[in-house]
Amino acid sequence: MGMTMTQKILAAHAGLRNVVAGQLIEADLDMVLGNDITAPVAIQEMTKIEKKQVFDKDKIALIPDHFTPNKDIKSAQNCKCLREFAKEYEITNYFEIGEMGIEHALLPEKGLVVAGDVVIGADSHTCTYGALGAFSTGVGSTDMAAGMVTGKAWFKVPSALKFELTGCPDRWVSGKDIILHIIGLIGVDGALYKSMEFTGDGIKNLSMDDRFTMANMAIEAGAKNGIFPVDNKTIDYMKGHSSKEYKIYEADVDAEYEKTYNIDLSKIRPTVAFPHLPENTKTIDEVGDIEIQQVIIGSCTNGRLEDLRAAAKVLDGRKVKKGMRVIIFPATQDIYLKAMEEGLLSIFIKAGAAVSTPTCGPCLGGHMGILAQGERAVATTNRNFVGRMGHVESEIYLASPAVAAASAVTGRISGPEELGL
């Protein structure tokens, strides 16, 4: 029996010729990631380990992005913990305010992850790097601590679901719409501890930013990881961002999948996930008349340059509806700079939006856009659980940057087509 792409990567890093679903393995790690919430716990756990040296100072990344710039004393203490640890252990990839970004946009941009890598991160959206053909998954802080010391982690080899993508998406359909459509199809537990393996001719019609978004939200379907095959777009991206050697793995023709889903990209419409689960999806044609008070455009899911360009196309020459709050979060400093150079920030500000420094901010109910009781927001973030962005009686509607921008103009959930675009 052949192996999937994920299984081949894990086998290679475990020093095994082959692995099967359900097998317990110990694998070498190419990168260990933590942020200002999860890494301090891992650092504390390291004090309980006899060996207190890190396995490789170049293969650890520490990024203060969740409650930064520091929102209060506790968040400042957490960031101080990262800063002092990074200094003591000479961690190469510590990114201070002013050079940082939202971790899952920053690591690929900095070239720290490439195809064939095995990456763990103490953040559930570490699965983002599957867009590059890497195996990446979220872990707890104690596993992060062990990974920093040993350079290894144990895994149960996941079984796989295959998503055969065909066709070309319409103009206003993005990777966010596609992954919301898929999660609506299979449910938030539809890929529980499985690998979501994307394949098919339709992939050539998806940009790298589309793929990052889709891999990012694999966890919202319960998946262990999401992964894309490596093609010319992937290689061009890696060559443009990284000097690391990459290795391409391809699934065997007789690889075993629990189920195959055929997804025609040309038939997908802009999609919105209603409260309080990402699986509660409706197309833009089905949403009805829902008034909103806030729009958030950004996050590790949709804060990349293509996302900001899509929002700018909608907002250019238009105004945010009076009384609406619109906050835009470029995912990294480099994206922020490029958006400024392209004139995107000017479009946002003239439209009546606020532009923030890179931060996770409101996505996890942290700061910079918390919702009050009874308020509704359209957000390009990844989760819409009860109380996720503020008050337990607030509501989050997940959507693409284009839908979010159109909704900012009308003050209710809307698609760009409603504006004549």
Nearest-angstrom CA–CA distance, 144 and 288: 44
Nearest-angstrom CA–CA distance, 214 and 181: 11
H or E segment and range at residue 380: none
Q: Which residues pair with 261 in a beta bridge?
A: 163
User: Residue 28 class from Cβ within 10 Å (0-12 exposed, 13-18 middle, 19+ buried)?
Assistant: middle
Q: Would you state the structure tokens that stand for residue 239, as one six-digit string?
A: 């060559």
The position carrying tokens 């207190």 is 52
Nearest-angstrom CA–CA distance, 216 and 201: 21
Residue 332 gets which letter from DSSP? B
Residue 300 assigned ligand-binding role: yes
User: Residue 222 class from Cβ within 10 Å (0-12 exposed, 13-18 middle, 19+ buried)?
Assistant: middle
- Count Cβ atoms below 10 Å from residue 232 Cβ, excluding itself: 8
User: Residue 34 class from Cβ within 10 Å (0-12 exposed, 13-18 middle, 19+ buried)?
Assistant: buried
Nearest-angstrom CA–CA distance, 363 and 380: 9
Summarize the chain as % helix, strand, coil (round to 5): 35, 20, 45
Q: How far out from the chain centre does Cα 188 lie?
A: 16
CA of 136: how far to CAs of 24, 128, 129, 198, 368, in Å? 17, 7, 6, 15, 29
The DSSP result for 198-225, as a single string, is EESGGGGGS-HHHHHHHHHGGGGGT-SE
Length of the chain: 421
Residue 56 gets which letter from DSSP? -
Nearest-angstrom CA–CA distance, 45 and 417: 52
Amino acid identity at 186: I
Residues forming the annotated binding site?
300, 360, 363
Residues belonging to the binding site for [4Fe-4S] cluster are 300, 360, 363
